[in-house]
Structure 1
Amino acid sequence: MRLENSYGIDLGTGMVKIYDQKADHITQESTMIALRNGNQVFAVGNDAYSMFEKAPADVRIIRPVSNGRINDILMTEAVLHTLLRRNTTYTGSRPTLYFSVPMDLTEIEKRAYASIAQKGRLRRSRVFLVEKPIADAIAVGVPLHHTKGTMIINLGAQSTELSVLADERVIINRLVPIGGMQFDQAVREGVLHKNNFMISSRTAQRLKFVLTDFRQEPSEGRKVYGLDRSSGLPRDGIVSAHTVTRMVRHECLLLADEIRKFIDRIPPQVQESIRRDGIILTGGSARIPGIDQYFRSQLEYPVRISQYYGMSTIQGIRILIRRPEMRHWAIDPSRNTV
């Protein structure tokens, strides 16, 4: 059987995941791009991320995507073209690109994705959009044609998307501006207050996953390097798991409050279905130990974690690409029809 030249793309603020249909393989790299002398591309993906927070003065590191919205079409196209060439079987011959997108994109923001197929090195591509909650639901096996109420919480880098699916569609959706980056910033602030020294966002992200644990009283610590708050000189220090967990828990408490408000908007009969089947938690921060237990106690609803964590969305697109009967869930942004 001849395979199509199709690629699935989950274009996030922090990471871009790419599915290659021919190789049946998923890769992920940072969404960052490094520019020198204005807009001259210097490094892309993980190469750019390796320079983040320590790049020389003449190098600028940017994220061309924010909350699933393309802020810079040319830079986004440069990231995608480079990573497709680097990590997939892409040869430049009219690919079909399936992008995951948040539910609340405007028509103009959707057309930004279509613009990728009209200019630059990815021109003459075919572009389709797949709503993130639909892709997540496909990944975890939600029967979209039969569900009477499924709730999915996607913990993204910059925000958390709350969605309820019923009657073969997303009936309620909301984007909450709390995500993994806010967790990281809270950890940085906690370390600054407790240890009196500044750590990078990269170090904070690492501590978030290594030390946070909602299942038990945290006790261990980690030696990390940063800058002394008073002198500005480099030094090391021991950051306790208690400090990190406390800061992440505070952000999760704020998020839980927003989720409760969202649940109050759900029709009672749909709430009953969700209570029976449970809330599905996806996204990179779903890997934090015990985070499902935390939300279970806060929301008083069953909560289960997707086995794919932050790879759920791209796994859903993978399934959609490989099963033609599911492709009706993909939207053609140039036609604005399903």
Structure 2
Amino acid sequence: MFKRFEQLFGVDLGTCNTLIYQQGVGIVLREPSVVAIHKDSGQIEAFGDEAYAMIGRTPANLEVIYPLKDGVIANFDMTSAMLKHFISKIKMKYKWIRGSQVYISVRCGITAVQKRAVEEMIVHKGGRRSVTIEEPLAAAIGAGLPVADPIGSMVVDIGGGTSQVALISLGGIVVSEYVRIGGLSLDQDIIEYVKRKYNLVIGERTAEEIKKNLASAIIPEGDVRMDIRGNDMMEGLPKTISITSREIYEIVDQFSMSIVDTIRLTMEQCPPELAGDLVERGMLLCGGGALLHGLDQRLQKETGIPVYLAEKPMECIAHGAGEMLNFKLLSTGNHFSGNTKSTNNAEMDAVLEQASGK
């Protein structure tokens, strides 16, 4: 009879950012998924915003890492410590996680072992029950799409490590595809371009600023310029150059076509009846990469399917995961699994070792 007082949380544990949503409250935490550690001892120095501010500015004995890679957990110890820190930040304001039900998003196509490892990590932190939900499905729920109806809905989720395309109907994913490109890979492409053409080494933060200010998925109408600073590879001294939006377009063009190819690959597997729904209803574009200028127009032009941007593209997944109690029908489907607080530490360690390939 106390079930109605149970708190429900949705966690979007992304490659670049972690968002936590509390049902009835909204987003209670949004921080970068980064950790700063001491190289020699392995001791953790900082998490989230504090660690992100250190990128490109750390001394030799400090390193800033992303504990998630390509949409899955690459370092379970660091991810667990980071999540524990995030929990402690909101524990004083909200009665968090202990005895709560937590829905946590995962990338499409991960193994059952990887799913269970994510669930066990949440349960180990005190949650009564943890359930994994695939990110495109959570995004569709968060955006208000009729996921439980016999209607086809397509979601294009462009994150930091991966981009996913999924067709959803009757509360589950019919077909899905993903590609290992995202916001971080686009940053790396910009870094490599500047190094190759200008013999200038720039950092991740500078590449991120270039992407925000100059990147466009459609041909720029003007030729906007931006001054950037870095280290000259020939002279070894600081140097300032000017880079244009048309140069960056060439890089983004390849990125955009990779997304288009993934959409086409998904459409090839789409049942004919659902394909008709997509032509009529269009596809949802979400994730941090969806904010790339002109991407919705580019995808619509290349595929011929209407594309609309989610109202809050970066919050869709966390919001949808946190609203899962409204979709109890889905919890029995093949796209969900759940663990209750019954696994001991030894069993959990075995799961984590198997998931990480040790």
Q: How does 1:116-265 map to 2 (within 5 A)?
A: 116-117=121-122, 119=124, 122-123=125-126, 125-213=128-216, 214=218, 216-265=220-269
CA distance in 2, matches of 1:227, 1:290: 31
CA shift in 2, pair 1:298/1:50, >3 Å: same
Is residue 2:67 matched to residue 1:70?
no
CA distance in 2, matches of 1:332, 1:269: 29
Q: Can you list the C-alpha shifts for 1:150-200, whole angstroms capped at 9, x where unaligned?
A: 111100111111100123311101111121112112222222334331211
Q: Which moved more, 1:196-205 or 1:272-281?
A: 196-205
Equivalent position of 1:326 in the other structure: 327
Contact preservation (8 Å) 2:47, 2:82:
yes
Tell me the amino acid that sits aligned with residue 242 of structure 2.
I
Contact preservation (8 Å) 2:147, 2:153:
no
Q: Which moved more, 1:86-95 or 1:172-181?
A: 86-95
CA deviation after TM superposition for structure 1 residue 3, in Å: 4.5
CA distance in 1, matches of 2:60, 2:255: 33
Tell me the amino acid that sits aligned with residue 102 of structure 1.
R
CA deviation after TM superposition for structure 1 residue 116, in Å: 1.2
Contact preservation (8 Å) 1:32, 1:45:
yes
Contact preservation (8 Å) 2:34, 2:48:
yes
Q: Can you list the C-alpha shifts for 1:1-51, whole angstroms capped at 9, x where unaligned?
A: 975343221001111111134743332111111122432111111111111
CA deviation after TM superposition for structure 1 residue 216, in Å: 3.7
Q: Which moved more, 1:207-216 or 1:144-153?
A: 207-216
- Structural RMSD (CA): 2.2
CA shift in 2, pair 1:91/1:253, >3 Å: closer
CA shift in 2, pair 1:46/1:160, >3 Å: same
CA distance in 1, matches of 2:170, 2:8: 29
Where does the alignment leave 5 or more consecutive residues of structure 1 unmatched?
none
Equivalent position of 2:104 in the other structure: 99
Higher RCO structure, 1 or 2 (CA under 8 Å, sep 6+): 2
CA distance in 2, matches of 1:41, 1:174: 35
Q: Aligned to 2:118, which of 113, 116, 119?
A: 113
CA deviation after TM superposition for structure 1 residue 313, in Å: 0.6
CA distance in 2, matches of 1:313, 1:245: 28
Provide the aligned length of Structure 1 versus Structure 2. Answer: 330
Tell me the amino acid that sits aligned with residue 62 of structure 1.
I
CA distance in 2, matches of 1:278, 1:139: 17
Tell me the amino acid that sits aligned with residue 252 of structure 1.
S
Q: Can you list the C-alpha shifts for 1:216-237, whole angstroms capped at 9, x where unaligned?
A: 4241111121111212322222
Q: Can you list the C-alpha shifts for 1:65-115, whole angstroms capped at 9, x where unaligned?
A: 223322232221111111122145246733432201122121110111122
**SS of 2:41's equivalent?**
coil
CA shift in 2, pair 1:117/1:141, >3 Å: closer
Q: Aligned to 1:31, which of 23, 33, 56?
A: 33
CA distance in 2, matches of 1:196, 1:205: 19
Q: Which moved more, 1:14-23 or 1:90-99?
A: 90-99
Contact preservation (8 Å) 2:202, 2:229:
yes
